[in-house]
Chains A and B, each alone.
Chain A
Amino acid sequence: EAGVAQSPRYKIIEKRQSVAFWCNPISGHATLYWYQQILGQGPKLLIQFQNNGVVDDSQLPKDRFSAERLKGVDSTLKIQPAKLEDSAVYLCASSRQRTTGELFFGEGSRLTVL
């Protein structure tokens, strides 16, 4: 079974520029999550999708972050404009169903904002 795929693995941008991250979950997984992990911290949930609907985006800074999951499969997370404090690893995870606590994480996309 193929794992969660994310790209790009690394991205360096200047502040105020924009960036987009892509995630392809495990086939058949209805729930998709985007987490932000700042160095030295644990992952923090940004947004959760169930199929193509948003379940929870309460911690997503909506003035600069946006995410979509068209057709309920792939997802894109965008940051525009980026700030220095957005430097982090952005982890995508998926789960087969929300009733199980096991998440399958991708390798992450490391963003550096200069």
Chain B
Amino acid sequence: DQQVKQNSPSLSVQEGRISILNCDYTNSMFDYFLWYKKYPAEGPTFLISISSIKDKNEDGRFTVFLNKSAKHLSLHIVPSQPGDSAVYFCAASDSGGGADGLTFGKGTHLIIQP
């Protein structure tokens, strides 16, 4: 039973436009959410996170929005750049902001087209 779902296996966006990656979760105990980015043959790298007490967190071109009532979060990348082409994983935790027992989604492959 998937507790963290990324329903779009891939997403193609033109360079300079906005990329929106979506993630849904089913476990209401999750209280901390993270996005990781992964290039081929490399390990995932942390991108941005959000606590359940917030509904938005911004870091440069990256913004994560959390809608707790809908159990939905999204990652916005503006403007999209070629280097953003990667697999993006949504992850969730129920350990009060910690990394214990992170549950990952299957990932969305973002392709930025020139």
Contacts and interface: CB of A to CB of B under 8 A. Distances in A.
Interface stretch (B11-19, B44-52, B62-70, B76-84): B44-52
Contacts of A107: 41-43
Interface in A47-85: 48, 55-56
A103 B95 CA distance: 14
Contacts, number: 69
A106 interface: yes
Interface residues of A, number: 26
A41 to B, nearest CB: 6
A91 B104 CA distance: 13
A102 B104 contact: no
Nearest to A50: B100
Given A55-B100, A107-B42, A42 B34 contact: no
A93 B98 contact: no
B37 to A, nearest CB: 11
A41 B89 CA distance: 10
A78 to B, nearest CB: 20
Interface in A18-45: 31, 33, 40-45
Interface string A98-109: 111111111110
Given A43-B89, A95-B99, A98-B98, A103 B46 contact: yes
Interface residues of B, number: 28
Contact of B43 (A55, A95, A108): A108
A101 B49 contact: yes
26 contacts: A4-B43, A42-B91, A42-B104, A43-B89, A43-B104, A55-B100, A56-B101, A91-B43, A91-B44, A93-B43, A95-B99, A98-B95, A99-B97, A100-B97, A100-B98, A100-B99, A101-B32, A101-B46, A101-B93, A101-B97, A101-B99, A103-B46, A103-B99, A103-B102, A107-B41, A107-B43
Interface of A: 4, 31, 33, 40-45, 48, 55-56, 91, 93, 95, 98-108
Given A42-B104, A55-B100, A99-B98, 19 more contacts: A41-B106, A42-B4, A42-B89, A43-B44, A43-B102, A43-B104, A45-B102, A91-B43, A98-B98, A99-B97, A100-B97, A100-B99, A102-B46, A103-B99, A103-B102, A105-B36, A105-B45, A107-B42, A108-B43
